[in-house]
Amino acid sequence: ISGILWSCNFNLQLANALVIDGDYHGSIRTLECGYLCASQANYSELM
């Protein structure tokens, strides 16, 4: 489960960096990937 949590955190940080760079479409795609990771972890706090 720690790998899934790491992936969720990585996707969130990457999405933030993409927003700062102005890549809003890439940020949305990254957040969608992070949401899928959170769904797999079954942590309602992450979703």
Tell me the whole-structure pTM to 2 decimals: 0.79
**Alpha-carbon gap, residue 44 to 47, rounded angstroms:** 5
pLDDT for residue 18: 97
Split into its structural domains, the chain has a count of 1
- Greater model confidence, 44 or 15: 15
pLDDT in tens, 5-42: 899 899 999 999 999 999 999 999 999 998 888 888 77
Q: How far apart are CA 20 and CA 27, in angstroms?
A: 10
Residue 39, pLDDT score: 86
Of 38, 40, 42, nearest to 15 by C-alpha is 38
Q: Structural domain of residue 6, as residue ranges?
A: 2-46
Return the DSSP state at 43: -
